[in-house]
Amino acid sequence: MCIGFYVLCFFWVQFGAGDCGTDGRCRALTLTLITNYLTHHTRFLAEALYDRLGGGFHWIETAPLRPERIALGWRREPDRPYLLRSYEEKAALCRQLALESDVVVLGSAPDRWIGPRLRRGRLTFRYAERWYKTGLPPAARVRAWLHHGRFQRAPLYLLCAGAYVAADAAWAGCYRDKAYRFGYFPPLKCAGPGELPAGKPPDGGDLLWAGRFLSWKHPLDAIALAGRLQEAGCHFRMTFVGTGPERQEMERRTAQMGLQNRIQILPPMPPEAVRRRMEQANLFLLTSDFQEGWGAVLNEAMNSGCAVVASHAAGAAPYLLRHGENGYLYRSGDLEGLFRHVKFLLDHPEQQQKVGMAAYETICSLWNPNTAAERLLTLCRRILEGDVCPAVYADGPCSPAPILPDGWFS
């Protein structure tokens, strides 16, 4: 039974689904998304929302890009008609939009942006990765109540940027029947028939790993995998793209295991260059643990037609992958499971290509910026019309988020 605060439905009804102009833009609805910064992982969702709402859409950036992101090849996004940087200019306009927009989506930004509007009963979404990536902090339930639970009677909903967000919220007693699948949505690339397979090595032996070399992303697991594959006599090449504190140990183990002719470790490169690497790779490895709130490289690799083998702990994996159909999951930390799936795909190039194309179709048909934007607006209109806990979609973006425990996959 959905619990809600919904005496304001008389106000919401006026923003119905039929308020679209002849050019397809739905001008009646105003939506503002507030988060730390606009990136190549979020800009295309912003573009899709702007295409549909025009001047009714704004993205408020609350902080400059952090140096560690710049070191990875990220860059400040260019000015856009919808983009406001509250830390540089127009702070008063940003505050006004946060208060008065029909819908506000709050990402990585302070609560002060939404407190006043929640007190007025205005429709608001939190857009978050999982809350407890490394276990429960002291007074976790108290903190959850302060940031979330005390607003449970307000029209406040949760967009889950990861499959474990809903379980964290449920543990804290928050967002009952008000949590929806969401995520991050890198640029969508649509290829012609046969174009993606034709760009990949015909021997099926190119493996790719991309990201920061951090302990919780476990690049050393991929090095260990390479050792197992070499022992098994598999034909393969493994490329790493990135930087981080694990690099020295990665290089040491590569030399120790005699893998210099198998493994190539490349420095960070711009996102477009990483995508080109994905388009030329046969398999993509995602080895992160539960600290990986989402993992947008998974979207990108699937859209590039890679056969993906991913840890079940990465937030994006349970949402995007159907085990054995459009990718393979292994239990986080289970190196034997990782080895078994990768070896199977190396030994069966036809299955490798089939899985890669199914992954590509998943992104093109469902998990992409256009679908996410369209569904988010539909969800907003349904709530504004008085359907306080709509279940509009069965799967994909904006479908009800299941409560998925950490140990669901074995």
Kindly give the interhelix angle for 349-365 and 335-347, rounded to the nearest 10 degrees.
100
Q: How confident is the model at residue 20 (pLDDT cuts 50, 70, 90)?
A: very low
Distance of CA 16 to the CA centre of its chain: 29
**Three-class SS state of 119:** helix
pLDDT at 67 over 60: yes
**Lowest-confidence segment of 89-93, 219-223, 329-333 by average pLDDT:** 89-93
Phi, then psi, of 181 in degrees rounded to 5? -60, 135
- Find all residues with CB under 8 Å of 79, minimum gap 6, and list them: none
Q: How confident is the model at residue 7 (pLDDT cuts 50, 70, 90)?
A: very low
Residue 57's alpha-carbon distances to 9, 47, 168, 336, in angstroms, are 22, 10, 30, 48
Relative to beta strand 179-181, strand 103-106 is unpaired
pLDDT of residue 12: 35
Distance of CA 388 to the CA centre of its chain: 25
Q: What is the pLDDT of residues 28-44, one digit of tens each?
A: 799 999 999 898 889 99
Evaluate whether 232 touches 343 at the Cβ level (below 8 Å).
Answer: yes
Same fold: 9-185+368-384 with 195-365: yes
pLDDT at 196 over 90: no
Which comes out higher in pLDDT, residue 65 or 393? Answer: 393
- 251: part of which helix (H) or strand (E)? helix 247-256
Q: What are the residues facing 200 on neighbouring strands?
A: none
pLDDT at 392 over 80: yes
The DSSP line for 33-81 is: EEES---TTTHHHHHHHHHHHGGGEEEEE-SPPPHHHHHTT--PPPP-T
pLDDT at 25 over 70: no
Please count the residues of the chain. Answer: 410
- 158: part of which helix (H) or strand (E)? strand 156-160
Q: Regarding the domain delimited by 195-365, which CATH topology (the fold level of the hierarchy) does it fall under?
A: Rossmann fold (3.40.50)
Beta-strand runs (E) in 253-385: 263-266, 283-286, 307-311, 328-330
Burial per residue of 158-175, b for 16 or more beta-carbon CB atoms within 10 angstroms, e otherwise: bbbbbbbbbbbbbbbebb
**Lowest-confidence segment of 107-121, 368-382, 391-405 by average pLDDT:** 107-121
CA 16 to CA 119: how far, in whole Å?
23
Helices (H), 348-406: 349-365, 369-384
DSSP 186: P
**Three-class SS state of 118:** helix
Q: What is the pLDDT of residues 147-195, one digit of tens each?
A: 899 998 899 999 999 999 999 999 999 999 999 999 999 999 998 878 8
Residue 143's alpha-carbon distances to 48, 156, 171, 339, in angstroms, are 34, 17, 13, 40
Domain extents in the chain:
9-185+368-384, 195-365
pLDDT at 279 over 70: yes
CA 395 to CA 398: how far, in whole Å?
8
- Find all residues with CB under 8 Å of 384, minimum gap 6, and list them: 12, 13, 15, 16, 29, 102, 103, 123
What is 9-185+368-384's CATH number, 2.60.40.420, 3.30.70.20, 3.40.50.2000, 3.20.20.70? 3.40.50.2000
pLDDT at 134 over 80: yes
